[in-house]
């Protein structure tokens, strides 16, 4: 354990050393691009980039600094975005930085439902990365390959520890691993149970949830939780569970409110998980309850009232009763001959074949 | 699996994709014939798809020296990590684009009709991600055990290598496999109807050894494994199952896990639904009650006709499918001796028997099981017969060692309705037409 901690810091040191002393000015740029590539991950949920990138929720971003703003013909930009862009204007570092800092304030009504990148350094890195990708999606500027070498050289220089010097822990049977620190457990242990176990202290109102939802969720899940395109529907569908096409939502199907809080906190917004504060999660959960007609608009959800709240479909969940079905546990001896009357007739064919090809996929 | 509904508009999209692929295939076949013709200087088209009982002219592939007979091929270092023959380019995973909104929370399917034996090659194991493929440097990966334990612990990959490990072959099936077929025959190919299953030899550490290091408290009854990807996938699993046969696997089929299968470590939960086999495993919590996470409430619960929903339906039931012939793998040789082949598996244990019917379930004959028979691993079956060229309605029916029998589609619908999405293990029918082509149908 000690060993690997040492190795990591040696590596970081090695890289820094190499970049500062060997490469001079261009190293900082390479570093920016490397950094920008990492930071770009928060964008990747909506924007593809690289060879063969296509539009997804947002336009693909190959050569976005060269190609001109709002210039991907196959992408349906919002009218707000189109209007904000003068014809043939190109993004430059300062206009893009302003947009990325707060997209929704910079271009009110833009479909880029993303809160923005607050740190200027981070924006600079992201823009350096975007600028380094040409219209074919290839990285033009060289990010530095020597760094890896410096890393392994530095690591080799480190003398190996003597086996007998290793401290053996006392826990368990085989004495492997190390004790987790309380801060480490707190950082990862974010699950919440229906009885409220695991719920962080905090509160949020449905009203505060509106803003969060509209800016960070509605683009995919629809203004009223009705889902855009094939993105999941979050609200409505009450009393449809026995219909031919049931609509399973938080209000119509989910058994526990804790699942909403837990899931939004661990996985949403899609492509930027763990970015909401606990109070924001309370607020957006309260607003999702409102969208499902479960509470009034002045509702405030907090760590005290949370565990008392029941969702309407809770009692309709039952245990696994499959083993009582007749084809289980040897209760039916499979028939070998004349099992069904008459000659078999085809009652249905794969529907795929009956549908005329659709070219606009 | 999300959003597997029978959406006819979307079915159109898939159909158009399938048609496009067919056209592509036809074109490549045609150009192969063309170049063959050029070589053959006017001879007959020998040894193409339809078999020829008697050759009229000699086969130029035999009488003429071919390039590969004369010129040297690539040397040893040309392919440091080998890949399949260029002529196997159709043996690939494929997706159904309309099923989900985004490829980062989506699924693709194993090409079962292109495979033999029981082991699925690593590059063809179907993928299902909820937040894309996490790319994790093993040096940066940590596994935490916390909750109702004496000592919450952190393990590195290096630590994991010091635990006793085991090698076990298990199938992994997504609970939504065949989920599109509840309402009726829909997708034309066993890759799409049954391709969310794969069978792999795992090397891993029994989970019980890791838990013993932390010391599970007596109140501990449930376990929550969590992934380190952007979906932070979680499922509640009873402690007994974890102590019985779960593994923390680092290798599949002899090599390190593929990134899309959870590199550097994933949970193996033998016989139980694939969603529980948490990939990129980073944390294991012990508790006294289940957590009711999103994937065991909103998803992976089985809605019945009366509006009740079953939850914690973990075991994958006994199931089989004929992989050849099937819609993507028609009979090309005309009448005569043929090999019918398929796969059978059960999350309860070993498959003890597979029967085959060629008349839509009126009469059944036992198939021949071949290859290893391991508990909760895929079994290969064959039925060798002489096809007289008439239409067939092919079905297979598996029975496991506990007498669980694969039900017909209608028997299953009678119990559950058509909105369960998950756990459709019913009998599949392929219609073989006089030209040898095959279609996904239902019979009565």
pLDDT digits (tens, 9 = 90+) for B128-169: 999 999 999 999 999 999 999 999 999 999 999 999 999 999
Contact A256 B292 (CB under 8 A): yes
Q: Verify that B191 and B104 share a domain, yes or no.
A: yes
Contact B16 A361 (CB under 8 A): yes
Please list the residues that pair with B336 across neighbouring strands. Answer: B387
Distance from CA of B41 to the nearest CA of A (A): 39
Position B92 in a domain: no
Q: How confident is the model at residue A142 (pLDDT cuts 50, 70, 90)?
A: low
Look at residue A319 in the predicted model and tell me its pLDDT. Answer: 97
Whether the Cβ atoms of residue A27 and residue A39 lie closer than 8 Å to each other: no
Q: Verify that A34 and A117 share a domain, yes or no.
A: yes
C-alpha triplet A84, A85, A91: angle, nearest 5°:
125
Question: In the structure encoding, which two tokens stand for residue A244, read together?
Answer: 């031919």
Contacts of residue B360 in chain A, CB cutoff 8 Å? 340, 343-345
Contact A174 B209 (CB under 8 A): yes
The mean per-residue pLDDT over the stretch B233-244 comes to 98
Look at residue A270 in the predicted model and tell me its pLDDT. Answer: 93
Contact A320 B3 (CB under 8 A): no
CATH number of the domain that residue A42 is part of: 1.10.760.10
In sequence order, the 6+-apart residues with CB closer than 8 A to the CB of B113 are: B189, B190, B191, B323, B324, B326, B328, B329
Place of tokens 């029916």: B397
Q: In whole angstroms, what separates CA B51 from the centre of its chain?
A: 32
Contacts of residue B131 in chain A, CB cutoff 8 Å? 267, 270-271, 273
Please list the residues that pair with B398 across neighbouring strands. Answer: B354
Position A1 in a domain: no
Distance from CA of A152 to the nearest CA of B (A): 14
Q: Mean pLDDT, chain B, as a whole number?
A: 90
Look at residue B105 in the predicted model and tell me its pLDDT. Answer: 75
The mean per-residue pLDDT over the stretch B209-231 comes to 98
Contact B310 A263 (CB under 8 A): no
Q: How confident is the model at residue A346 (pLDDT cuts 50, 70, 90)?
A: very high
Among residues A135, A155, A175, the one where a domain terminates is A155
Q: How confident is the model at residue A217 (pLDDT cuts 50, 70, 90)?
A: very high
- The whole-angstrom separation of Cα B40 and Cα B62 is 11
Sign of dihedral through CA atoms A231, A50, A59, A26? positive
* Range scoring the smallest mean pLDDT among A132-141, A151-160, A163-172, A325-334: A151-160
Contact A337 B291 (CB under 8 A): no
Higher confidence at residue B258 or residue A82? B258
Among residues B261, B283, B310, the one where a domain terminates is B310
Sign of dihedral through CA atoms A42, A43, A49, A55? positive
Q: Verify that A144 and A209 share a domain, yes or no.
A: no
Q: Verify that B385 and B332 share a domain, yes or no.
A: yes
Whether the Cβ atoms of residue B439 and residue B431 lie closer than 8 Å to each other: yes
Q: Verify that A101 and A204 share a domain, yes or no.
A: no
Q: What is the largest CA-CA distance in chain B?
A: 82
The mean per-residue pLDDT over the stretch B364-380 comes to 98
Chain B CA closest to residue A315: B308
Quote the number of domains for chain A: 2
The mean per-residue pLDDT over the stretch B256-278 comes to 98
Position A14 in a domain: no
Q: Verify that A194 and A149 share a domain, yes or no.
A: no
Contact B443 A346 (CB under 8 A): yes
Look at residue A187 in the predicted model and tell me its pLDDT. Answer: 97
Position A339 in a domain: no
Distance from CA of A204 to the nearest CA of B (A): 21
Is the pLDDT at B426 greater than 50? The verdict is yes
Q: Verify that B105 and B180 share a domain, yes or no.
A: yes
* Range scoring the smallest mean pLDDT among A328-332, B297-301, B402-406: A328-332
Is the pLDDT at B35 greater than 60? The verdict is no
Out of A259, A270, A322, name the one closest to residue B292 (CB). Answer: A259
The mean per-residue pLDDT over the stretch B322-328 comes to 97
Q: Verify that B220 and B335 share a domain, yes or no.
A: no
Look at residue B150 in the predicted model and tell me its pLDDT. Answer: 98
The mean per-residue pLDDT over the stretch B227-252 comes to 98
Strands (E), A207-263: none
Is the pLDDT at A46 greater than 50? The verdict is yes
- The whole-angstrom separation of Cα B389 and Cα A341 is 24
Distance from CA of A317 to the nearest CA of B (A): 5
* Range scoring the smallest mean pLDDT among A22-26, A195-199, B3-7, B359-363: B3-7
Distance from CA of B74 to the nearest CA of A (A): 28
Q: Verify that B340 and B281 share a domain, yes or no.
A: no
Position A301 in a domain: yes
Contact B19 A357 (CB under 8 A): yes
Peptide bond into A269 cis (omega under 30): yes
Q: Which domain holds residue A122?
A: 27-155
Contact B3 A271 (CB under 8 A): no
- The whole-angstrom separation of Cα A265 and Cα A254 is 17
Q: Verify that B302 and B363 share a domain, yes or no.
A: no
C-alpha triplet A149, A154, A158: angle, nearest 5°:
145
Position B249 in a domain: yes
In sequence order, the 6+-apart residues with CB closer than 8 A to the CB of B24 are: none
Q: Verify that B323 and B300 share a domain, yes or no.
A: no
Is the pLDDT at B316 greater than 80? The verdict is yes
Backbone angles phi, psi at A301, to 5 degrees: -100, 135
Whether the Cβ atoms of residue B165 and residue B203 lie closer than 8 Å to each other: yes
Residues in chain B, total: 444
Look at residue A31 in the predicted model and tell me its pLDDT. Answer: 84
Contacts of residue B406 in chain A, CB cutoff 8 Å? 327
Position B91 in a domain: no
Is the pLDDT at B12 greater than 50? The verdict is no
The mean per-residue pLDDT over the stretch A331-342 comes to 92
Contacts of residue B159 in chain A, CB cutoff 8 Å? 1, 176-177
Please list the residues that pair with B252 across neighbouring strands. Answer: B202, B255
Position A102 in a domain: yes
Contact B308 A245 (CB under 8 A): no
Contact A273 B441 (CB under 8 A): no
Contacts of residue A267 in chain B, CB cutoff 8 Å? 130-131, 230-232, 294
Position B120 in a domain: yes
Position B76 in a domain: no
Percentage with pLDDT > 90 across chain A: 62
Contact B407 A254 (CB under 8 A): no
pLDDT digits (tens, 9 = 90+) for A270-322: 999 999 999 999 999 999 999 999 999 999 999 999 999 999 999 999 999 99
Out of B212, B289, B307, name the one closest to residue A173 (CB). Answer: B212
Going by their DSSP bridges, the two strands B255-256 and B247-252 should be labelled as antiparallel
Out of B14, B283, B399, name the one closest to residue A334 (CB). Answer: B399
Position B233 in a domain: yes
Q: Verify that B137 and B154 share a domain, yes or no.
A: yes
Q: Verify that A141 and A259 share a domain, yes or no.
A: no
CA distances from A240 to A22, A244, A247, A293 (A): 67, 8, 6, 15
Higher confidence at residue A124 or residue B106? A124
- The whole-angstrom separation of Cα B58 and Cα B375 is 51
Out of A319, A329, A348, name the one closest to residue B404 (CB). Answer: A329
Is the pLDDT at A155 greater than 60? The verdict is no
Size of interface A-B (CB pairs under 8 A): 294
Out of A1, A246, A355, name the one closest to residue B12 (CB). Answer: A355
Q: Verify that B150 and B240 share a domain, yes or no.
A: yes
Peptide bond into A204 cis (omega under 30): no
Mutation target among B9, B232, B248, B394 for the A interface, most CBs of A within 10 A: B232
Question: In the structure encoding, which two tokens stand for residue B197, read together?
Answer: 């299953």
Q: Which domain holds residue B169?
A: 98-310
Contact A357 B12 (CB under 8 A): yes
Position B243 in a domain: yes
The mean per-residue pLDDT over the stretch A43-65 comes to 90
Look at residue B47 in the predicted model and tell me its pLDDT. Answer: 41
Q: Verify that A149 and A219 share a domain, yes or no.
A: no
Contact A267 B209 (CB under 8 A): no
C-alpha closest to that of A157 among A340, A344, A57, A14? A14
Q: Verify that B64 and B108 share a domain, yes or no.
A: no
Contact B150 A171 (CB under 8 A): yes
Contacts of residue B397 in chain A, CB cutoff 8 Å? 334
Distance from CA of A102 to the nearest CA of B (A): 23
Start-to-end Cα distance in chain B: 29
Q: Verify that A131 and A53 share a domain, yes or no.
A: yes
pTM, full prediction: 0.81
Contact A335 B364 (CB under 8 A): yes
Q: How confident is the model at residue A45 (pLDDT cuts 50, 70, 90)?
A: confident
Look at residue B162 in the predicted model and tell me its pLDDT. Answer: 98
Higher confidence at residue B198 or residue A12? B198
Strands (E), B17-142: 94-95, 106-109, 128-129
Look at residue A351 in the predicted model and tell me its pLDDT. Answer: 64
Position A197 in a domain: yes
Quote the number of domains for chain B: 3
Whether the Cβ atoms of residue B213 and residue A177 lie closer than 8 Å to each other: yes
Q: Verify that B63 and B137 share a domain, yes or no.
A: no
Contact B230 A185 (CB under 8 A): no
pLDDT digits (tens, 9 = 90+) for A230-273: 899 999 999 999 999 999 999 999 999 999 999 999 999 999 99
Is the pLDDT at A61 greater than 70? The verdict is yes
pLDDT digits (tens, 9 = 90+) for A107-118: 988 888 888 898
Mutation target among A177, A227, A239, A244 for the B interface, most CBs of B within 10 A: A177
Look at residue A352 in the predicted model and tell me its pLDDT. Answer: 54
Position A347 in a domain: no
Out of B14, B131, B307, name the one closest to residue A241 (CB). Answer: B307
Out of A188, A193, A267, name the one closest to residue B292 (CB). Answer: A193
Distance from CA of B191 to the nearest CA of A (A): 14
Q: Verify that A202 and A282 share a domain, yes or no.
A: yes
Is the pLDDT at B1 greater than 50? The verdict is no
Look at residue A157 in the predicted model and tell me its pLDDT. Answer: 66
Q: What is the DSSP letter of B316?
A: P
Going by their DSSP bridges, the two strands A300-302 and B237-238 should be labelled as unpaired
Backbone angles phi, psi at A29, to 5 degrees: -65, -45
Q: How confident is the model at residue B112 (pLDDT cuts 50, 70, 90)?
A: very high
Out of B213, B301, B442, name the one closest to residue A171 (CB). Answer: B213
Look at residue A109 in the predicted model and tell me its pLDDT. Answer: 86
Contact A351 B186 (CB under 8 A): yes
Q: Mean pLDDT, chain A, as a whole number?
A: 86
Look at residue B282 in the predicted model and tell me its pLDDT. Answer: 98
Contacts of residue B223 in chain A, CB cutoff 8 Å? none
Q: Verify that B225 and B109 share a domain, yes or no.
A: yes
Look at residue B55 in the predicted model and tell me its pLDDT. Answer: 85
Look at residue B52 in the predicted model and tell me its pLDDT. Answer: 61
Out of B232, B293, B308, name the one closest to residue A273 (CB). Answer: B232
- The whole-angstrom separation of Cα B50 and Cα B61 is 16
Out of B159, B309, B359, name the one closest to residue A317 (CB). Answer: B309
CATH number of the domain that residue B425 is part of: 2.60.40.650
Q: How confident is the model at residue A8 (pLDDT cuts 50, 70, 90)?
A: very low
Is the pLDDT at B335 greater than 90? The verdict is yes
The mean per-residue pLDDT over the stretch B356-365 comes to 98
Contacts of residue A339 in chain B, CB cutoff 8 Å? 361-364
* Range scoring the smallest mean pLDDT among A347-356, B100-109, B170-179: A347-356
């Amino acid at each position: 354990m000690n060993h690997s901690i040492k190795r990591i810091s040696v590596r970081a040191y090695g890289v820094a050393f190499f970049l500062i002393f060997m490469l001079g000015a261009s190293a900082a740029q390479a570093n920016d691009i490397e950094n920008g590539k990492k930071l770009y991950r928060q964008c990747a949920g909506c924007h593809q980039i690289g060879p063969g990138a296509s539009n997804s929720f947002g336009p693909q971003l190959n050569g976005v600094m060269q190609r001109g703003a709002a210039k991907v013909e196959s992408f349906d930009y919002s009218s707000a975005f189109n209007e904000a862009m003068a014809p043939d204007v190109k993004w430059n570092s300062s206009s893009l930085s302003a947009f990325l800092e707060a997209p929704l304030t910079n271009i009110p009504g833009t479909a880029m439902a993303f809160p923005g990148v607050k740190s200027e350094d981070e924006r600079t890195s992201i823009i350096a990365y975007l600028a380094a990708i040409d219209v074919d999606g290839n990285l033009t500027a060289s990010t530095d390959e020597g760094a890896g070498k410096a890393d392994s050289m530095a690591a080799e220089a480190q003398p190996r520890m003597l086996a007998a010097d290793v401290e053996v822990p006392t826990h368990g049977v085989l004495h492997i691993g190390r004790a987790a620190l309380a801060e480490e457990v707190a950082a990862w242990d974010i699950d919440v149970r229906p009885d409220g176990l695991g719920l962080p202290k905090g509160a949020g109102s449905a009203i505060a949830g509106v803003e969060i939802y509209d800016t960070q969720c509605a683009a995919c899940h629809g203004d009223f939780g009705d889902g855009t395109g094939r993105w999941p529907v979050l609200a409505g569908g009450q009393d449809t569970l026995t219909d031919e096409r049931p609509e399973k939502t938080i209000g119509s199907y989910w058994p526990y409110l804790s699942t909403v809080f837990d899931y939004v906190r661990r996985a949403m917004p899609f492509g930027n998980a763990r970015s909401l504060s606990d109070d924001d999660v309370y607020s957006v959960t309260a607003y999702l309850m409102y969208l499902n007609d479960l509470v009034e608009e002045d509702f405030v959800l907090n760590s005290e009232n949370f565990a008392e709240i029941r969702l309407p479909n809770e009692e309709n969940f039952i245990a696994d009763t499959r083993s009582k079905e007749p084809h289980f546990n040897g209760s039916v001896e499979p028939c070998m001959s004349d099992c069904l009357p008459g000659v078999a007739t085809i009652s249905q064919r794969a529907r795929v074949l009956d549908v005329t090809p659709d070219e606009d996929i | 699996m999300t959003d597997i509904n029978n959406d006819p508009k979307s079915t159109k999209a898939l159909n158009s994709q399938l048609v496009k692929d067919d056209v592509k295939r036809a074109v490549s076949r045609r150009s192969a014939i063309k170049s063959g013709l050029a070589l053959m200087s006017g001879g007959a088209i020998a040894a193409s798809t339809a078999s020829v009982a008697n050759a009229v002219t000699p086969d130029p592939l035999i009488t003429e020296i071919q390039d590969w007979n004369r010129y040297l091929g690539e040397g040893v270092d040309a392919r440091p990590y080998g890949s399949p023959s260029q002529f196997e380019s159709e043996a690939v995973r494929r997706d159904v684009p309309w099923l989900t909104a985004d490829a980062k929370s989506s699924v693709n399917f194993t090409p079962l009709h292109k495979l033999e034996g029981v082991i699925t090659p690593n590059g063809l194991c179907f993928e299902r991600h909820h937040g894309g493929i996490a790319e994790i440097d093993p040096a940066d990966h940590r596994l935490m055990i916390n909750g109702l334990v004496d000592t919450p612990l952190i393990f590195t990959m290096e630590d994991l290598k010091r635990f006793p490990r085991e090698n076990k072959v298990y199938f992994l099936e997504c609970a939504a496999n065949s989920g599109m077929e509840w309402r009726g025959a829909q997708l034309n190919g066993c890759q799409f109807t049954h391709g969310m299953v794969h069978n792999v030899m795992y090397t891993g550490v029994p989970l019980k050894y890791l838990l013993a290091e932390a010391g599970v408290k007596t109140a501990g009854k449930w376990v929550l494994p969590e992934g380190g990807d952007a979906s932070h996938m979680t499922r509640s699993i009873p402690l007994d199952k974890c102590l019985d046969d779960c593994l923390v696997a680092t290798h599949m089929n002899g090599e390190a896990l593929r990134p899309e299968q959870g590199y550097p470590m994933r949970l193996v939960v033998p016989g139980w639904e694939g969603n529980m086999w948490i990939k990129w495993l980073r944390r294991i919590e012990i508790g006294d009650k289940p957590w009711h996470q999103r994937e065991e409430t909103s998803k992976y619960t089985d809605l019945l006709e009366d509006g009740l929903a079953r939850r914690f339906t973990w075991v994958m039931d006994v199931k089989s499918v004929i992989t050849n012939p099937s819609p993507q793998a028609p009979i090309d040789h005309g009448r005569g001796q043929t090999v019918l082949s398929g796969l059978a598996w059960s999350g309860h244990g070993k498959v003890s028997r597979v029967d085959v019917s060629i008349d839509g379930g009126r009469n059944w004959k036992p198939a021949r099981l071949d290859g290893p028979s391991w508990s909760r691993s895929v079994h290969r079956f064959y039925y060798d017969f002489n096809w007289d060229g008439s239409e067939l309605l092919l079905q297979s029916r598996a029975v496991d060692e506990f007498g669980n029998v694969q039900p017909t589609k209608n028997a299953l619908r009678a119990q559950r309705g058509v909105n369960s999405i998950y756990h459709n293990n019913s009998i599949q029918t392929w219609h073989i037409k006089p030209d040898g082509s095959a279609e996904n149908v239902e019979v009565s």
